[in-house]
């Protein structure tokens, strides 16, 4: 007898479960079963056991249809829901998990079906960063300005009124770098640092955003911009549509220090390359196309920098601080020397260290020139450029001092780890786009690392280098100027700052020679040229080939109080005079040769253009060349040397008259003029060279026939012996006669005393009521008398 066949396992398990846990049918079960009556009987399911008899009642085709239906998502969802409602308590967790998974799948399908079309249509209405970048490039290529990235006034006002709260406080540099690195997309960061330059950034930032690639970013350091006169960069960027711009603000960092500001920017930049610009630098959209970040056969052993010597004009020379270099190369040399707390030399020092120490392998970094056409500098004066600098002696002098001091202390690369600035940071956005930096430690200024004697020596050497290298004053001339070197440097810097012209580098050197009248004419011509072009004038009284002490300009005129220009021919109070040309005395012009010979011993002569009276076949053409140099139209030529005996061509007599009127007589000359007294009632007589006794007698006879007995004469001339003889023949007033016989009380040498007397007598002749001569008066005398008469009318 065979044992009975075992019942199906699932049925047995179900039966046993029913025996152990009797099922209680509630009204809820009835309601659920009535809603889905067929699910528990018409389908075989692991969760709903079916009897063999019911399964056998279906044909194979019906089974296939049911199988296809069970594969549908709707059927599975309904089955899972029915299972959850009617399942045995031991099966409830698995039923819930299945239902949850099916609901998640359904949500994912619905989300995909809705979001992708929505994103497509929104993307067409609002272009991506790449399409925005391409749109700006197209506008620039078509001659249109790039789209404005800066906010409207209402959004800016809202940003200013909103005071954000920090997301993170007092975090370290490494923490901020980790936050910024997470959102890094590109390989280049453009960095700029400035103070009170929001207006400049409104002009240049749109161009920056089109010049870099869409994935690159910009980092700005706002070094203490002071509201309400200037809007802080953070507020402007927060209200603008420039998501690629990060702003690091320092609310109260003290004086502007370029080296510290840019080193902070370098430390926070996340790009592999750093593009350093100034806040007044305009960048063309094709910059990176013209300056690729990879070059054949060079790998990464190079950096780009702007060579000021290639600048097309003086304004573009201020782009010398723009460079493009790898971030790891900058980090190796620790960026700028932060001890350079004053203006100048920071860029030159950084470039030198990059070239020699920029790579760990010891390879030399090759400096490549930035194409000048790819950049432009927004024009403004040195006063604005150095407005935030902690200046003591002017930008040019401090540049020279820094260059000397850097070579006298330890290299920044060896001490940077212990002396560089340390900051803590507050982060005001989760993407770390708005950061506030707070200095904790800063290095001492460069000169504070030196002894007082070393500082004095550096000041002296730096001043000499400035005057020679920057201003082009030859060494032989520097030793003859009647000013101390620091005083002269400060004076020239002040003149540059106050000049109304753009080209302020040219100096005028003038050596006046010939007779006394010719020298006076030469002085008036040189001074007229200096006044017209607002240039400093260095005057030398020519000694010719003599070696003995020569007279100096200050023996006859007060150069410190000369150079005023009266605005018109009317009477103007002294308080209304405006200095238009500073006059400096040069004791002796030592180089007696032509400039090409002088340049063999001093390179400063190479920057000069010479005009010599009687030394040119076409003096007017040579004079025009001088004017071109003064106007900055001759490359390589900066200063002018005038060797004059008489007037300079291409000038009017009125220009010379007004210039001569600005000359102030020295105390010695003024005293002798006053001693001669008033000769306004006299007739002036000037005796030229070569007059003999016979000629004097004939002149006395002729004048006696045409003059009354009470006519007085004031006699002067080229030869002193002839003048003394003539004064015994021509009647004069007792006062004038006595004064003319008195010797000059001032003057170190007889030559100086004779020159003072000759100039004073020319002043007296110009005030006489009439003039007669022997028929051969020098032209120079007549021109000087005309200048003196015009001078008198201007001062009346």
Q: Does residue 441 sit within a domain? A: yes
Q: Does residue 192 sit within a domain? A: yes
The candidate with the shortest Cα–Cα distance to 188, out of 216, 220, 215, 214, is 216
Instruction: Give per-residue pLDDT as tens, 663-687.
Output: 999 999 999 898 888 888 888 889 8
Within its chain, how far is the Cα of 406 from the centroid?
A: 22
Q: Does residue 16 sit within a domain? A: no
Do 97 and 60 share a domain, yes or no? yes
Question: Mean pLDDT throughout 501-529?
Answer: 87
Q: What string of DSSP letters covers 194-210?
A: ESS-HHHHHHHHHHHHH
Q: Does residue 289 sit within a domain? A: yes
Range of the domain at 163: 153-407+423-447
Helix (H, G, I), strand (E, B) or coil at 273: strand
Is residue 429 predicted with pLDDT exceeding 70? yes
Is residue 579 predicted with pLDDT exceeding 70? no
What CATH code is carried by the domain that includes residue 161?
A: 3.90.550.10
Whether 189 and 269 have beta carbons less than 8 Å apart is answered as yes
Q: How far is CA 159 from CA 168, 388, 606, 796, in A?
A: 20, 26, 57, 64
Instruction: Give per-residue pLDDT as tens, 299-331.
Output: 568 999 999 888 888 788 889 999 999 999 999
Of the ranges 4-18, 77-91, 600-614, the best mean pLDDT one: 600-614
Is residue 494 predicted with pLDDT exceeding 90? no
Whether 129 and 202 have beta carbons less than 8 Å apart is answered as no
- Token pair, residue 392, equals 């003591």
Full strand arrangement of the beta sheet holding 583-586: 583-586, 537-541, 508-512, 639-644, 608-612
Report which of residues 106 and 373 the model is more confident about: 373
Q: What is the pLDDT of residue 132?
A: 52
Percentage of the chain surpassing pLDDT 70? 72
Question: Mean pLDDT throughout 408-422?
Answer: 92
Confidence of residue 745 (pLDDT cuts 50, 70, 90): low
Inter-helix orientation angle 485-498/395-406, to 10°: 130
Do 317 and 390 share a domain, yes or no? yes
Do 710 and 757 share a domain, yes or no? yes
Q: Does residue 690 sit within a domain? A: yes
Do 172 and 317 share a domain, yes or no? yes
Rg of the Cα atoms in the chain = 46
Q: What is the pLDDT of residue 198?
A: 81
Confidence of residue 610 (pLDDT cuts 50, 70, 90): very high
Confidence of residue 80 (pLDDT cuts 50, 70, 90): low
Alpha helices in 220-302 (DSSP H): 233-238, 258-268, 287-290
Is residue 235 predicted with pLDDT exceeding 70? yes
Confidence of residue 213 (pLDDT cuts 50, 70, 90): very high
Is residue 21 predicted with pLDDT exceeding 70? no
Q: What is the pLDDT of residue 78?
A: 66
d(CA 483, CA 471): 15
d(CA 684, CA 764): 8
Q: Does residue 13 sit within a domain? A: no
Do 116 and 164 share a domain, yes or no? no
Domain boundary among 661, 685, 714: 661
Q: What string of DSSP letters covers 17-70?
A: HHHHS-----HHHHHHHHHSTTTTTSS-BTTB---HHHHHTS-HHHHHHHHHHH
Average pLDDT, the chain: 79
Confidence of residue 166 (pLDDT cuts 50, 70, 90): confident
Total domain count for the chain?
4
Report which of residues 705 and 723 the model is more confident about: 723
Do 595 and 657 share a domain, yes or no? yes
Domain boundary among 627, 661, 695: 661
Residues 6+ apart with CB under 8 A from 656: 521, 524, 525, 528, 647, 787
The candidate with the shortest Cα–Cα distance to 353, out of 437, 410, 274, is 410
Do 643 and 673 share a domain, yes or no? no
Whether 585 and 553 have beta carbons less than 8 Å apart is answered as yes
The angle at the Cα of 691, spanning 690 to 695, to the nearest 5 degrees, equals 145
Whether 522 and 652 have beta carbons less than 8 Å apart is answered as no
d(CA 442, CA 421): 4
Question: Mean pLDDT throughout 214-238?
Answer: 82
Do 616 and 677 share a domain, yes or no? no
Q: What is the pLDDT of residue 92?
A: 65
d(CA 781, CA 598): 33
Confidence of residue 392 (pLDDT cuts 50, 70, 90): very low
d(CA 570, CA 124): 72
Domain boundary among 661, 691, 710: 661
Q: What is the pLDDT of residue 89?
A: 63
Whether 275 and 220 have beta carbons less than 8 Å apart is answered as no
**Burial of residue 415, with CB atoms counted within 10 A of its CB: 0-12 exposed, 13-18 middle, 19 or more buried:** middle
Instruction: Give per-residue pLDDT as tens, 433-481.
Output: 899 999 999 999 988 888 989 988 888 888 888 899 889 999 999 989 9
Question: Mean pLDDT throughout 704-718?
Answer: 81
Do 197 and 291 share a domain, yes or no? yes
Instruction: Give per-residue pLDDT as tens, 240-286.
Output: 667 889 999 998 888 899 999 999 999 999 999 999 999 999 999 99
Please count the other Cβ atoms lying within 10 Å of the Cβ belonging to residue 41.
Answer: 10
Whether 10 and 49 have beta carbons less than 8 Å apart is answered as yes
d(CA 202, CA 230): 12
Report which of residues 610 and 380 the model is more confident about: 610
Do 314 and 443 share a domain, yes or no? yes
Q: What is the pLDDT of residue 569?
A: 38
Do 396 and 522 share a domain, yes or no? no
Confidence of residue 765 (pLDDT cuts 50, 70, 90): very high
Q: What is the pLDDT of residue 545?
A: 57
Q: Does residue 470 sit within a domain? A: no
Instruction: Give per-residue pLDDT as tens, 773-796.
Output: 766 678 899 999 999 998 877 766
Q: Residue 222: enclosing H or E segment and its boundaries?
A: strand 217-223
Report which of residues 361 and 305 the model is more confident about: 305
Is residue 33 predicted with pLDDT exceeding 70? no
| Mean pLDDT lowest among 132-141, 389-398, 504-513 | 132-141
Q: What is the pLDDT of residue 138?
A: 64
pTM score, whole prediction = 0.63
Question: Mean pLDDT throughout 468-495?
Answer: 87
Do 211 and 344 share a domain, yes or no? yes
Is residue 73 predicted with pLDDT exceeding 70? no
Q: What is the pLDDT of residue 349?
A: 94
| Mean pLDDT lowest among 230-234, 298-302, 371-375, 409-413 | 298-302
Is residue 162 predicted with pLDDT exceeding 80? no
Q: What is the pLDDT of residue 4?
A: 53
Confidence of residue 701 (pLDDT cuts 50, 70, 90): confident
Whether 686 and 777 have beta carbons less than 8 Å apart is answered as yes
Whether 685 and 714 have beta carbons less than 8 Å apart is answered as yes
Report which of residues 549 and 437 the model is more confident about: 437
Q: Does residue 457 sit within a domain? A: no
Confidence of residue 505 (pLDDT cuts 50, 70, 90): low
Q: Residue 281: enclosing H or E segment and its boundaries?
A: strand 281-283
């Amino acid at each position: 007898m065979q044992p009975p066949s075992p019942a199906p396992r699932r049925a047995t398990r179900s039966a046993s479960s029913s025996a152990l846990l009797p099922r209680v049918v509630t009204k809820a079960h009835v309601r659920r079963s009535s809603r889905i009556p067929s699910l528990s009987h018409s389908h075989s399911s692991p969760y709903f056991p079916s009897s063999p008899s019911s399964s056998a009642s279906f044909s194979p085709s019906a089974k296939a249809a049911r199988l296809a239906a069970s594969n549908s998502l709707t059927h599975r969802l309904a089955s899972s829901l029915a299972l959850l409602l009617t399942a045995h308590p031991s099966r409830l967790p698995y039923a819930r998990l299945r239902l949850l998974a099916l609901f998640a799948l359904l949500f994912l399908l619905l989300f995909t079906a809705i979001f992708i079309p929505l994103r497509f249509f929104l993307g067409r209405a609002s272009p991506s960063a790449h399409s925005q970048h391409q749109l700006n490039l197209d506008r620039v290529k078509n001659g249109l300005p790039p789209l404005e990235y800066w906010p409207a006034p209402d959004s800016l006002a809202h940003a200013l009124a909103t005071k954000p709260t920090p997301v993170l406080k007092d975090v370290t540099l490494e923490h901020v770098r980790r936050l910024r690195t997470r959102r890094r997309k590109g390989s280049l960061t453009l960095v700029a640092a400035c103070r009170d330059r929001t207006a400049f950034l409104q002009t240049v930032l749109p161009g920056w955003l089109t010049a870099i690639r869409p994935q690159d970013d910009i980092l700005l350091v706002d070094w203490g911009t002071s509201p309400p006169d200037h809007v802080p960069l953070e507020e402007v960027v927060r209200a603008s549509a420039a998501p690629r711009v990060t702003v690091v603000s320092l609310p109260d960092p003290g004086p502007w220090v370029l080296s510290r500001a840019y080193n902070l920017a370098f430390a926070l930049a996340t790009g592999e390359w750093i593009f350093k610009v100034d806040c007044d630098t305009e960048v063309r959209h094709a910059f990176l196309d013209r300056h690729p970040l990879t070059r054949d056969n060079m790998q990464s052993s190079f950096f780009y920098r702007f060579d000021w010597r290639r600048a097309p004009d003086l304004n573009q020379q201020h782009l010398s601080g723009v460079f493009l270099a790898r971030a790891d190369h900058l980090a190796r040399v620790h960026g700028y020397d932060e001890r350079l707390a004053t203006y100048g030399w920071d860029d030159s020092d950084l470039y030198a260290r990059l070239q020699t120490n920029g790579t760990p392998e010891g390879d030399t970094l090759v400096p490549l020139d930035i194409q000048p056409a790819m950049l432009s500098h927004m024009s403004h004066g040195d006063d604005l450029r150095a407005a935030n600098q902690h200046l003591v002696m002017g930008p040019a002098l401090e540049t020279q001092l820094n260059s000397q001091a850097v070579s006298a202390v330890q290299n920044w690369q060896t001490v940077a780890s212990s002396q560089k600035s340390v900051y803590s940071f507050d982060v005001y956005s989760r993407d770390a786009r708005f950061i506030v930096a707070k200095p904790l430690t800063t290095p001492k200024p460069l000169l504070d690392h030196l002894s007082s004697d070393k500082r004095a020596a550096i000041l002296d050497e730096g001043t000499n280098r400035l005057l020679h290298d920057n201003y082009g004053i030859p060494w032989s001339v520097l030793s003859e100027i009647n000013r101390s070197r620091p005083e002269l440097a400060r004076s020239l810097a002040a003149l540059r700052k106050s000049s109304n012209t753009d080209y302020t580098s040219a100096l005028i050197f003038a050596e006046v020679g010939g007779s006394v009248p010719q020298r006076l004419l030469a002085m008036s011509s040189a001074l007229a040229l200096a006044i017209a072009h607002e240039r400093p004038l260095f005057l030398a009284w020519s000694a010719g080939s003599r070696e003995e002490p020569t007279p100096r300009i200050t023996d006859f005129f007060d150069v410190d109080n000369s150079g005023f220009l009266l605005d018109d021919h009317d009477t103007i109070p002294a308080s209304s005079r405006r200095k238009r040309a500073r006059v400096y005395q040069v004791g002796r012009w030592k180089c007696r040769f032509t400039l090409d010979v002088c340049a063999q011993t001093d390179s400063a002569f190479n920057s000069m253009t010479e005009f010599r009276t009687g030394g040119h076949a076409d003096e007017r053409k040579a004079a025009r060349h001088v004017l071109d140099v003064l106007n900055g139209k001759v490359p390589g030529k900066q200063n002018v040397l005038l060797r004059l005996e008489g007037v300079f061509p291409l000038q009017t007599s009125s220009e010379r008259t007004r210039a001569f009127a600005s000359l102030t007589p020295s105390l010695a000359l003024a005293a002798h003029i006053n001693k001669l007294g008033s000769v306004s009632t006299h007739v002036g007589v000037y005796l030229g060279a070569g007059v003999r006794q016979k000629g004097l007698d004939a002149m006395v006879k002729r004048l006696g026939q045409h003059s009354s007995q009470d006519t007085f004469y004031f006699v002067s001339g080229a030869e002193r012996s002839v003048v003394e003889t003539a004064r015994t023949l021509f009647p004069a007033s007792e006062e004038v006669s006595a004064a003319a016989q008195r010797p000059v009380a001032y003057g170190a040498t007889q030559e100086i005393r004779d020159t003072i007397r000759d100039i004073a007598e020319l002043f007296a002749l110009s005030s006489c009521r009439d003039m007669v001569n022997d028929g051969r008066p020098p032209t120079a005398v007549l021109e000087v008398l005309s200048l003196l008469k015009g001078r008198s009318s201007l001062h009346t």
